[in-house]
Amino acid sequence: MQAKKGDTVRVHYTGKLVSGEQFDSSAGREPLEFEVGAGMMIKGFDDAVVGMAIGDNKTINILPADGYGERSEEMVIDFPRSNFPDDMAPEVGMQLMMNNNAGQQFPVTIVDVKEDVVMLDANHMLAGKELVFDIEMMEIDSKRLIIVP
């Protein structure tokens, strides 16, 4: 049986940059479970598991367009330093959670600290990067339609 859209699969994976630097892995954890084609994963990873059978291994490269997208300078914003709590000293590299107008949280990274503003980068940390994934298919749960006369 090969994985197809609509199947729930469980995979082990290791994610790296093309430089070889590892950014994530399921090693030592339960396999990652998701529904193929449901938009739960980045497109390149989702597409890669289609056609894999249990026990198959593959290595794929994912370009930014099928990963976390290109970096956008519009996602780097100046945030008034006066909006930070008095007891907080913002530092470059610090990661924070912010809320948008709809109340949804999203992560930002401080990229510069000036006298009156702090520059925040809301791009995903892997935006603009080519990714390499080693994937091993562990399980496939196929949802087959059973027609009863």
How many domains, the chain? 2
Residue 73 C-alpha from the chain's centroid: 19
Q: Write out the DSSP string of 47-86.
A: HHHTT-BTT-EEEEEE-GGGTT----GGGEEEEEGGGS-T
If asked whether residues 65 and 83 sit together in one domain, one would say no
If asked whether residues 78 and 99 sit together in one domain, one would say yes
CATH number for the domain harbouring residue 114: 2.40.10.330
If asked whether residues 17 and 48 sit together in one domain, one would say yes
Tokens of 44: 């390149």
If asked whether residues 81 and 65 sit together in one domain, one would say no
Tokens of 32: 């990652």
What digits encode the pLDDT tens for the residues 17-49?
999 999 999 999 999 999 999 999 999 999 999
Residue type, 132: V
pLDDT over 70, % of the chain:
95
CA atoms of 1 and 126, how far apart (whole Å): 33
pTM of the model: 0.80
What digits encode the pLDDT tens for the residues 125-147?
999 999 999 999 999 998 655 55
If asked whether residues 60 and 94 sit together in one domain, one would say no
Judge whether 146 lies within some domain: no
Judge whether 30 lies within some domain: yes
Q: Which domain holds residue 54?
A: 8-69+126-141
Find where tokens 């998701």 sit.
Answer: 34
Residue type, 98: M
Judge whether 3 lies within some domain: no
